[in-house]
A and B are shown apart, each in its own frame.
Chain A
Amino acid sequence: MQNTNATTPQIHGSSDIIVCDNLEKHYSRGGETVRVLESIDLTLARGAFVALMGPSGSGKTTLLNLFAGIDRPTAGTLMVDGQDLTKLSRAQLAQWRATSVGYVFQLYHLVPVLTAYENVELPLYLHELSRAQRHERVSEALEAVGISDRHAHYPRQLSGGQEQRVAIARAIVTRPALLLADEPTGDLDRVAAASIMQLLSQLHSERGQTIVMVTHDPSTATHAQRLVRLDKGQLVEDVAVLS
């Protein structure tokens, strides 16, 4: 399905999942250019669990969006899962997202008219899978997030924590190389937040899932192995987390 392979050399299996060099993102607002991200150099290893921190407005979501291929850098290079994202067309980028990344939003963003099961099944329509294969994948993903018993529920019938579990199942059901999460516990109470963090840690330790997670809660960041801090669009700290 990736007809993008021909144009760019693949370095699948290379030990780095994200390599960015001099990455810049500017927005123009009222004729004025805002430098949201400034010369970001960062290399993240495959299998890592990275926490991205920083004050509000520091550019965390913007950086995560660049990693996810849902926004484009203004300048610099960006390799994700062996693919130079700056070289892909809009459609190629969409195809790449369908196979390589899973994205978890702070506000879950489940489709309200679809059941939990159908929400998780959604990204699989973009894959060459039979109905039975889809069923197997969805069941497995729902099992992995511990919410199989709620598969027929609509989002409005679920608690925030349960909705986020479904959203995580939707993000991992395509078995992406990279799981990105933007403040996944930001809208949850402490108990639900702790159990979501538990789940992410488990996905990392048991499946070796690479995770980059934005958070501004220091206690949440302790689940990660590495902490990267942004401030005013610049990388100001990059340390290993001691657990």
Chain B
Amino acid sequence: MSRAQSIMGMATLALRGMKRRPTRSALVLAGVAVAVFLFCTVDAMRSGVERATQKSAGETALIVYRQNRFCPFTSQLPQSYESAIAKIPGVASVTPVKIVVSNCRASLDVVTFRGVPPQEFAVTHSGSASAQDMQSWLSRGDSALIGRELAQRRRLKAGDRFTAAGVDAFVAGIIESDLPQDQSSAFVHLSFLQEQAKRGGTGGVVTQFDVRVSDPAQMDSVAQAIDERFAKDQSPTTTRAETAHVARAATDVIVLVGFAQALGIAALVAVFALVANAIVLSMRSREKEISVLQTLGFRGVHLATLVLLEALLLGGVGGMIGAGASYAAVSLARTAMTMEGVSIAIAPSFAIALIGVAIAIGLSVLAGIVPAIIAARQTIVAGFRS
């Protein structure tokens, strides 16, 4: 008899067994789904952190920050540094940025105002917003271009007004960007933000400078040159690669995510235990059934296949439900973890969903191996006498 045919037969049996014990199957599937959901969601956070903080080879973005300051409220640099930085060899562009955040601690609902020189921004981000939105933004002093994520989170669209961190702005349009920093930001005119933030003459003060270097290989040397340039100045600076800047700000979050990841892995261990338990229980109540199948001529390999397919189905279907739910939840929530003014986007990933399903299947099949061997080795007469 052909192997494919007998495997088809076993698959049919396994599927029927699962469908027709709906309560048992639903319980196991729900358990597997919850565990995989947890794992995938935590992993979406982890990969968000990784994307935002891991150094990449082609990186050209530097952040110039006030030395020993860790929050946009306290990092204060004179806007006049702009021209000095621009003169440093290897610097391709400099943008002074004023950041006002609604919350300096780690939070999931932070609005980051980035004050930027309007004309420069219109040039560097010309492709990120529609020409009409950009025009409307340029023409109105109190207007903001907001990241898609922020727009979704606060349900904002062009023409709305919104207030955060004491700043009241008009939404000129939505800005599209892959950069996590842009996703939860509201870009406003630098002068407007300086005006808003001015409490006793802090005009001309910015939070940081966003610098682009012309050659990725010069990141370190340019950063060093910038810091040396202002070392003896009134406001000394610390310049880091953008990823390093985010990583430093996100230290606490990274620790938390690592902890959450351990929980996610514990959840997967629970998948293993759950499926193993379900299969062992079902085998115990089916010793006679196995003996009957053996009497009909089913061999050890058939029975082992049957048990493993059952495990595979439970893990696979449960895993798909959990991974799908996580993907949907992360897509809908569109949140970003923000701390000290930097954002880490939690984005859905198809790869993470696939990995979650694969791990659930792998662990379930692993959980089925011992029961499969026991089923294959059972002697018929012993099964009937049990």
Contact = CB atoms under 8 A, between A and B. Distances in A.
A132 interface: no
Q: Using C-beta atoms within 8 Å of the partner chain, give the interface range for chain B.
A: 20 to 34
B16 interface: yes
Contacts of B293: 122
Contacts of B20: 113
Contacts of B17: 113
A105 B288 CA distance: 12
Contacts of A99: 297
B214 interface: no
Contacts of A67: none
B295 A68 contact: yes
Interface string A97-121: 1110001010001010110001000
A71 B380 contact: yes
A118 B1 CA distance: 19
Interface in B59-113: none
Contacts of A71: 380-381
Contacts of B381: 65, 70-71
A209 B16 CA distance: 32
A183 B204 CA distance: 101
A1 B5 CA distance: 13
Nearest to A134: B9
Contact of B294 (A70, A127, A128): A70
Contact of A94 (B2, B5, B12, B299): B299
A126 B21 contact: no
A91 interface: yes
Contacts of A113: 16-17, 20-21
Interface residues of A, number: 27
B289 interface: yes
A70 B295 CA distance: 6
Contacts of B21: 113
B286 to A, nearest CB: 9
Q: Which of A90, A95, A96 has the most CB of B within 10 A?
A: A90
A97 B289 contact: no
B6 interface: yes
A91 B296 CA distance: 12
Contacts of A127: 1
B16 A94 contact: no
Nearest to B6: A125
Given A71-B381, A109-B288, A103 B295 contact: yes
A123 interface: yes
Contacts of B13: 114, 122, 125
B350 interface: no
A212 B369 CA distance: 39
Interface string B136-147: 000000000000
B296 A1 contact: no
A82 B299 CA distance: 21
B288 A95 contact: no
Given A111-B289, A126-B296, A70 B380 contact: yes
A20 B289 CA distance: 29
Contacts of B6: 125-126
B71 to A, nearest CB: 63
A126 B297 contact: yes
B16 A90 contact: no
Nearest to B21: A113
B162 interface: no
B5 A125 contact: yes
Contacts of B373: none
B8 to A, nearest CB: 8
B292 interface: yes
B1 A94 contact: no
Interface string A189-208: 00000000000000000000
Contacts of B12: 125
Given A90-B299, A126-B6, A126-B302, 17 more contacts: A70-B381, A91-B300, A94-B300, A95-B297, A97-B297, A99-B297, A109-B288, A113-B16, A113-B17, A114-B13, A114-B16, A122-B296, A126-B9, A126-B296, A126-B297, A128-B1, A170-B296
Interface of B: 1-2, 5-6, 9-10, 12-13, 16-17, 20-21, 288-289, 292-300, 302, 380-381
16 contacts: A1-B1, A68-B295, A70-B294, A71-B381, A90-B299, A94-B297, A94-B300, A98-B296, A98-B297, A122-B296, A125-B12, A126-B6, A126-B9, A128-B1, A128-B2, A170-B296
